[in-house]
Amino acid sequence: MDDSRALDRPAAVVLAVPEIRDYRAINQELVRHLDRGCPSIRLTGALGQRLLASGLRGRWSAMIEIEGDAGPELAAGLDAPGLTVVCRGSAGDGAASGLKAGRVLVLGRVGTAVGYAQGGGLIMVAGTAGARAGLGQLAGDLILIGGAGPLAGERQSGGRLIAQADLGPHAGRGRRGGRFLRLDQRREPLAESDRAALEFAFTTFASWLGPKSTSWPPG
């Protein structure tokens, strides 16, 4: 191995959210380090900060990990195919809304309208989701491990929404297209494309999901 090349690689970065405070400044710092080729950035002390990792657009290959509870619109409008955003706590309303490209995992619960108007990429929620998960989904994959409140998949027109646990009332109201799979109600085997999507998601997030990654996808 060329030791000089190893020394040239940017190291993982830790940013303390309370020290920066303003979400614009936080996201500017994220972009600065991503542009340097940093492979891993950890945000500590999220404390309900809104719009973390929102609006990021680029061709980076990296991971952003958030410690603590994120506020509304985590990773909203993300357009970065090689970027993975993992929130170890909960997230507020509108998490990953308008996602175009990239991967977002929330290990805790999320508020209302996770994945609103999702246009691509992958969203997974390991905890419970609030009402209107996947509202107006256009494309991409939204996977709800812990179930969701009322109106999941409302006005979906594209993409794929997969839920394991029970959903609240009026799931799928006003749907016009896309794939909407409720695994707690299925009796027939999954289609090959749906199984492949699940396997990709659980492989992508295996190191954070722990035992959950061994029990999915179901038979």
Tokens of 148: 């969701």
Tokens of 101: 């490209």
For residue 4, what pLDDT band results from cuts at 50, 70 and 90? very low
Domains defined for the chain, CATH in brackets = 3-207 (2.160.20.60)
- The reported pLDDT for the residue numbered 185 is 82
Model pLDDT for residues 15-47, shown as the tens digit of each residue: 999 999 899 999 999 999 999 999 999 999 999
The CA-CA-CA angle for residues 47, 49, 51, to 5°, reads 155
Residues 126-131, mean pLDDT to the nearest whole number: 97
- The reported pLDDT for the residue numbered 36 is 96
pLDDT beyond 60 at 1:
no
Model pLDDT for residues 75-96, shown as the tens digit of each residue: 999 999 999 999 999 999 999 9
